[in-house]
Amino acid sequence: MKLEGVEIRTIRMPLVSPFRTSFGTETVREAVLVRAVGADGEGWGECGASALPLYSSEYTPAAAAVLSEVLVPALGGEDLDPHRVAGILSPFKGHRQAKAALETAILDADLRARDVPLSYHLGAVKDRVACGVSVGITPTIPALLDAVDGYLADGYVRIKLKIEHGWDLEPVRAVRERFGDILLQVDANAAYGRADIEHLAKLDAFDLSLLEQPLSADDLGGHAMLARRIGTPICLDESILSAEHAAHAIELGACCIVNIKPGRVGGYLESRRIHDLCVAHGVPVWCGGMLETGIGRAANLALAALPGFTLPGDTSASERYYETDLTPPFRLEDGHMTVPTGPGIGVTPDAAVLDEVTVSRAWIPLAGAAAGAC
């Protein structure tokens, strides 16, 4: 893959409804998209970072800057194997979501040129995946019950509720009582501390499939303490930034389930390593989400089709997030979504829709590439 240059775009797309978590409320998805252009075609990647550094230290202006100023120039204009990108970028600390978007765009361009679907490249064994939905914190419990009711009517096979201090036992109890025997799990986005262990143990009354990231990202020891006290399985999200982190967390008994978000761990290739590690340890995994447009969603579906993804992911339909997606909309059929079969990520953004939501763009030519290539 000989790269001519990379386009970095920032887009802003209104969400169909506000998404509230313990760390803030999103009403618009701001994201960076990466388009890698090579002699044999182009490829796309979506950066999971959002407008403010609330989920992790990354955020869109920083992601756009590090891509333009550091990561893309580091690639040079030489022939590039997508599997070598992470190694080339590894001297630069952090910025995993930005690195993931760049690696994905290059991998997509390479796979398209060779007519290979991403799912096949990663080792997928399913052509459709079971889908869950992540339900934000609502102003009232009746509003939450309405939201869950709507998603169950859409066919989602599991519900994830966001929780925080003051919004945990009661909403969970209300959903369990109203909807009975559904697959139900909760996500705290690191809102609690070790002092809350006894309180969190009360969630055991609700037969949850898992409790996601209750404590701070750095506190693997606290998660291990909680895991010994509580019956509900602990799943980690923010704590797992690489296969190495996953190995440590499993070894410590900090989790028995892992949420794999490709951006958070630096890309789909690292995601596959985490998947393989978890399968070897008998740890189930599922595919998380960052409110992706169709670009990121397509790639997430490819990953979610690997054999170790035995739990439904946050791979929801386009209409759960956007009135108009950048790609043909991903639709739920009988609680499942079809894994794209085209080469690379299998979808391409609609140029007119993309231009409408673009707020800034930059073209980074690569050394050795023809001037003005675009």
Q: Which residues are catalytic?
A: 162, 261
Residue nearest to Mg ion according to CB distances in the complex? 237
The answer to whether 15 touches 322, Cβ cutoff 8 Å, is yes
CB-based contacts of 217, cutoff 8 Å, min separation 6: 190, 238, 239
Site string for Mg ion, 186-225 (x = CB under 5 A): -x------------------------x-------------
Site string for ligand OSB, 100-139 (x = CB under 6 A): ----------------------------------x-----
Partner from Mg ion, ligand OSB, none binding residue 346, C-beta < 5-8 Å depending on class: none
Q: How far apart are CA 222 and CA 214, in angstroms?
A: 10
The answer to whether 169 touches 202, Cβ cutoff 8 Å, is yes
Q: Tokens 């043909």 appear where?
A: 328
**In the window 232-271, what residues touch ligand OSB (CB under 6 A)?**
237
Q: Contact between 187 and ligand OSB (CB under 6 A)?
A: yes
Partner from ligand OSB, Mg ion, none binding residue 267, C-beta < 5-8 Å depending on class: none
CB atoms within 10 A of CB 301: 27
Q: How far apart are CA 18 and CA 16, in angstroms?
A: 7
* Cβ at position 156, least distance to ligand OSB in Å: 11
Q: Contact between 288 and ligand OSB (CB under 6 A)?
A: yes
Looking at the chain, how many residues does it have? Answer: 374
Binding residue (CB under 6 A) for ligand OSB from 290, 303, 337, 366: 290
Q: Contact between 316 and ligand OSB (CB under 6 A)?
A: yes
Closest alpha carbon to 35 in 122, 112, 119: 112
Segment contacting ligand OSB (CB under 6 A): 150-158, 270-278, 286-294, 363-371? 286-294
**Number of residues this chain uses to bind ligand OSB (CB under 6 A):** 11
Q: Which is nearer to ligand OSB, 34 or 133 (CB)?
A: 133
Q: Contact between 168 and ligand OSB (CB under 6 A)?
A: no
Q: Contact between 46 and Mg ion (CB under 5 A)?
A: no
Q: Contact between 55 and ligand OSB (CB under 6 A)?
A: yes
CB-based contacts of 139, cutoff 8 Å, min separation 6: none
CA dihedral 92, 97, 100, 102 (to 10 degrees): -80
Segment contacting ligand OSB (CB under 6 A): 71-79, 275-283, 289-297, 301-309? 289-297
Strands 336-338 and 128-130, bridge-based pairing: antiparallel
Q: Contact between 314 and Mg ion (CB under 5 A)?
A: no
CB-based contacts of 329, cutoff 8 Å, min separation 6: 294, 317, 318, 319
Distance of alpha carbon 354 from the chain centroid: 21
CB-based contacts of 282, cutoff 8 Å, min separation 6: none
Partner from ligand OSB, Mg ion, none binding residue 290, C-beta < 5-8 Å depending on class: ligand OSB
The residue ranges that bind ligand OSB (CB under 6 A) are 55, 134, 187, 189, 237, 288-291, 314, 316
Residues that bind Mg ion (CB under 5 A): 187, 212, 237
